Amino acid sequence: MRVPGNPQAQVVGIGNRLDAGTVTGVRPRLHEAVDSGHGDLIVDLSGLEMIDATGLGVLVGTHRRAVGAERRLILRGVPPRIMRVLAVTRLNRVLTVEHPIAAVA
């Protein structure tokens, strides 16, 4: 999916789990997205309920692959529970997390 206003960006959605049981299906999709596009790669985590060390490893590996392809990996819609995991593991300092823009009243 393309992003209006940022035509080179791609969005890849992740389901409700990113763990040892699901990474075999997710990893190739993310790698294909990195390899086949240009601009930002936005990974939508808004539906993510559970992540484990294997899932975190996939995000870090995709980040490294994106950097190697001169692209940027951006995590969108990170639920608070998942954000806490990123903070505890300090991956919030490595991975770019998109923060929602507050609505102007």
For residue 34, the domain's CATH number is 3.30.750.24
Structure tokens at 57: 């490893």
Q: Which of these ranges, 27-31, 42-46, 49-53, 96-100, has the smallest mean pLDDT? A: 96-100
Return the percentage of the chain with pLDDT > 90, whole number.
82
Residue 105 forms part of a structural domain: no
Residue 104 forms part of a structural domain: no
Contact at 8 Å (CB) between 14 and 22? no
Residue 103 forms part of a structural domain: no
State how many domains the chain has. 1
Residue 16 forms part of a structural domain: yes
Residue 102 forms part of a structural domain: no
Degrees, nearest 5: CA angle 37-59-50: 125
Q: Express each pLDDT in 71-97 by its tens digit.
A: 999 999 999 999 999 999 999 999 999
